[in-house]
Chains A and B, each alone.
Chain A
């Protein structure tokens, strides 16, 4: 299967700890997105990469959040000094260059901050 993969699938951490999530997009996809989904809500955009360049960040992405995509392949999303409000599903999606292309989603990383 060559779909979008995310690791870990579940993460439980204590408030104040740092966590890092990884996303491996579909191999030929240039664009990579991170979204956050809280219970009962639709996903909300966090940030976007085209190849290795981070081109857009949501105001939801506080300075405790940082994302990278070295070499334009996999991406990592790090949350420093986690807070209980960070508990959510973090979704990664990828797509090829082109107008209006379908985004393909990974299974997500579910974060619980105690």
Chain B
């Protein structure tokens, strides 16, 4: 079974600084996708960034980038120039794509607070 581990329950960062959130996963599969989702307080979950496991190049989306280390099964999220609106729970998620439902398996999340 696939598992996702986020080892940092809470983190804080000053506005405009850079922060990195950690995620490791365990799988024996070779074809899969990885996601970071953001869940602001009392608001719905939205996609931050997505990575295909077969792509060696790390995904980037504006201020958000990942460090994908397939051999180490690591998928960290870097947020540059942190903004107050980045305050949220961040969930790392794994999707196995060989047949079946392509359901997401989530980590427990990291609560990020951006301080002014």
Contact residue among A40, A93, A102, A105 (Cβ-Cβ distance under 8 Å from B108): A40
Residue of B nearest to A101 (CB): B102
> B97 in the interface, Cβ–Cβ < 8 Å?
yes
Complex CA–CA separation, A8 to B18 (angstroms): 38
Which of under 10, 10 to 19, 20 to 34, or 35 or more describes the interface residues of B?
A: 20 to 34
Q: A102-B47, A107-B43 are in contact. Are A33 and B109 (CB under 8 A)?
A: no
> B100 in the interface, Cβ–Cβ < 8 Å?
yes
Contact with A along B31-67 (1 / 0, CB 8 A): 0110101000001111100101000000000000000
> B114 in the interface, Cβ–Cβ < 8 Å?
no
> B13 in the interface, Cβ–Cβ < 8 Å?
no
**Chain B interface mostly helix, strand, loop or mixed?**
strand
The minimal Cβ–Cβ distance linking B101 to chain A, given in whole angstroms, is: 4
Q: Which residues of A contact B (CB under 8 A)?
A: 31, 33, 35, 40-45, 48, 55-56, 91, 93, 95, 99-108
**Which of A42, A43, A104 has the largest count of B CB atoms less than 10 A from its CB?**
A42
Contact residue among B44, B52, B91, B109 (Cβ-Cβ distance under 8 Å from A107): B44
Q: A43-B91, A99-B97, A100-B97 are in contact. Are A56 and B44 (CB under 8 A)?
A: no
Q: A105-B44, A106-B44 are in contact. Are A42 and B106 (CB under 8 A)?
A: yes
Q: A100-B52, A100-B95 are in contact. Are A105 and B45 (CB under 8 A)?
A: yes
Interface pair A100/B101, CB less than 8 Å apart: no
The minimal Cβ–Cβ distance linking B9 to chain A, given in whole angstroms, is: 8
Q: A100-B33, A105-B45, A107-B43 are in contact. Are A45 and B105 (CB under 8 A)?
A: yes
Chain B residues in 8 Å Cβ range of A102? 35, 47, 50
